[in-house]
Amino acid sequence: MTTRRQRQVAELLHEEISLLLQRQARDPRLNPVTVTGVDVTPDLQNARVYVSVLGDSHDVQQAMAGLEGAAGFLRRQLGDSLSLRVTPRLTFRLDNSFEQGSRIDRLLDTLFDDSQRTEKDAE
Protein backbone atom coordinates (compact mmCIF):
# COMPACT_ATOMS: atom_id res chain seq x y z
CA MET A 1 0.00 0.00 0.00
CA THR A 2 1.41 3.38 -0.94
CA THR A 3 1.20 6.23 1.50
CA ARG A 4 0.16 9.75 0.69
CA ARG A 5 3.77 10.89 1.06
CA GLN A 6 4.98 8.24 -1.42
CA ARG A 7 2.39 9.38 -3.95
CA GLN A 8 3.34 13.03 -3.48
CA VAL A 9 7.04 12.34 -3.91
CA ALA A 10 6.36 10.11 -6.93
CA GLU A 11 4.29 12.83 -8.63
CA LEU A 12 6.93 15.43 -7.87
CA LEU A 13 9.68 13.22 -9.27
CA HIS A 14 7.58 12.46 -12.36
CA GLU A 15 7.16 16.16 -13.13
CA GLU A 16 10.76 17.11 -12.41
CA ILE A 17 12.35 14.24 -14.33
CA SER A 18 10.11 14.96 -17.32
CA LEU A 19 11.16 18.61 -17.30
CA LEU A 20 14.83 17.73 -16.90
CA LEU A 21 14.70 15.34 -19.85
CA GLN A 22 13.00 17.98 -22.00
CA ARG A 23 15.10 20.99 -21.06
CA GLN A 24 18.48 19.99 -19.70
CA ALA A 25 19.41 16.56 -21.02
CA ARG A 26 21.84 17.01 -23.89
CA ASP A 27 22.05 13.36 -24.90
CA PRO A 28 20.22 12.86 -28.24
CA ARG A 29 19.36 9.28 -27.22
CA LEU A 30 16.94 10.75 -24.67
CA ASN A 31 14.81 12.70 -27.18
CA PRO A 32 12.22 9.95 -27.76
CA VAL A 33 11.79 9.24 -24.01
CA THR A 34 8.57 9.96 -22.12
CA VAL A 35 8.20 9.39 -18.38
CA THR A 36 4.99 7.44 -17.82
CA GLY A 37 5.14 6.91 -14.07
CA VAL A 38 7.24 6.77 -10.92
CA ASP A 39 7.07 4.40 -7.96
CA VAL A 40 8.86 5.27 -4.72
CA THR A 41 9.83 2.82 -1.99
CA PRO A 42 8.31 3.37 1.47
CA ASP A 43 11.62 4.72 2.82
CA LEU A 44 11.83 7.16 -0.14
CA GLN A 45 15.38 5.95 -0.85
CA ASN A 46 14.70 4.47 -4.30
CA ALA A 47 12.51 5.47 -7.21
CA ARG A 48 11.56 3.26 -10.13
CA VAL A 49 10.96 5.48 -13.17
CA TYR A 50 8.82 3.99 -15.95
CA VAL A 51 9.49 5.31 -19.44
CA SER A 52 8.19 4.74 -22.94
CA VAL A 53 10.41 5.17 -25.97
CA LEU A 54 9.32 5.93 -29.51
CA GLY A 55 11.12 3.94 -32.15
CA ASP A 56 12.37 0.45 -32.82
CA SER A 57 14.21 -1.92 -30.50
CA HIS A 58 17.56 -0.27 -31.29
CA ASP A 59 16.18 3.14 -30.25
CA VAL A 60 14.82 1.59 -27.06
CA GLN A 61 18.21 0.06 -26.19
CA GLN A 62 19.99 3.34 -26.90
CA ALA A 63 17.52 5.34 -24.82
CA MET A 64 17.76 2.95 -21.86
CA ALA A 65 21.55 3.14 -22.01
CA GLY A 66 21.31 6.94 -22.14
CA LEU A 67 19.01 6.98 -19.12
CA GLU A 68 21.34 4.77 -17.11
CA GLY A 69 24.19 7.11 -18.01
CA ALA A 70 22.17 10.18 -17.07
CA ALA A 71 20.90 8.78 -13.75
CA GLY A 72 23.61 10.52 -11.72
CA PHE A 73 23.06 13.83 -13.47
CA LEU A 74 19.30 13.60 -12.99
CA ARG A 75 19.65 12.69 -9.32
CA ARG A 76 22.02 15.61 -8.72
CA GLN A 77 19.64 18.02 -10.46
CA LEU A 78 16.71 16.66 -8.45
CA GLY A 79 18.68 17.13 -5.24
CA ASP A 80 19.32 20.77 -6.15
CA SER A 81 15.73 21.56 -7.10
CA LEU A 82 13.71 19.53 -4.57
CA SER A 83 13.58 19.92 -0.82
CA LEU A 84 13.78 16.26 0.13
CA ARG A 85 15.82 14.90 3.00
CA VAL A 86 17.27 12.23 0.71
CA THR A 87 17.23 12.27 -3.07
CA PRO A 88 16.09 8.82 -4.25
CA ARG A 89 18.29 6.58 -6.37
CA LEU A 90 16.76 6.30 -9.83
CA THR A 91 16.28 3.08 -11.75
CA PHE A 92 14.64 3.11 -15.14
CA ARG A 93 12.19 0.52 -16.44
CA LEU A 94 10.66 0.27 -19.87
CA ASP A 95 6.88 0.69 -19.86
CA ASN A 96 5.39 -1.51 -22.59
CA SER A 97 1.76 -0.82 -21.70
CA PHE A 98 1.19 1.33 -24.82
CA GLU A 99 2.41 -1.43 -27.14
CA GLN A 100 0.36 -4.03 -25.25
CA GLY A 101 -2.73 -1.82 -25.46
CA SER A 102 -2.22 -1.36 -29.20
CA ARG A 103 -1.86 -5.11 -29.66
CA ILE A 104 -5.07 -5.77 -27.72
CA ASP A 105 -6.90 -3.14 -29.82
CA ARG A 106 -5.72 -4.83 -33.03
CA LEU A 107 -6.86 -8.23 -31.75
CA LEU A 108 -10.27 -6.85 -30.77
CA ASP A 109 -10.63 -5.18 -34.17
CA THR A 110 -9.83 -8.49 -35.85
CA LEU A 111 -12.43 -10.30 -33.75
CA PHE A 112 -15.02 -7.62 -34.47
CA ASP A 113 -14.33 -7.80 -38.22
CA ASP A 114 -14.55 -11.60 -38.16
CA SER A 115 -17.87 -11.53 -36.29
CA GLN A 116 -19.35 -9.02 -38.74
CA ARG A 117 -18.26 -11.18 -41.69
CA THR A 118 -19.85 -14.23 -40.06
CA GLU A 119 -23.12 -12.35 -39.54
CA LYS A 120 -23.20 -11.24 -43.19
CA ASP A 121 -22.50 -14.78 -44.38
CA ALA A 122 -25.38 -16.09 -42.25
CA GLU A 123 -27.87 -13.71 -43.92
Position 72 in a domain: yes
- At 1 the pLDDT is 76
In the chain the first and final C-alpha atoms are separated, in Å, by 54
- At 109 the pLDDT is 83
Position 52 in a domain: yes
Position 88 in a domain: yes
- Distance between CA 32 and CA 88 in Å, rounded? 24
Q: How many domains does the chain have?
A: 1
Position 81 in a domain: yes
Segments of the chain scoring below 50 in pLDDT: none
Tens digits of residue pLDDT in 42-67:
999 999 999 999 888 999 999 999 99
Determine how β-strand 33-40 pairs with β-strand 46-53. Answer: antiparallel
Q: Domain limits at 53?
A: 4-97
Position 28 in a domain: yes
Q: Is the overall model pTM greater than 0.85, yes or no?
A: no
- Distance between CA 24 and CA 109 in Å, rounded? 41
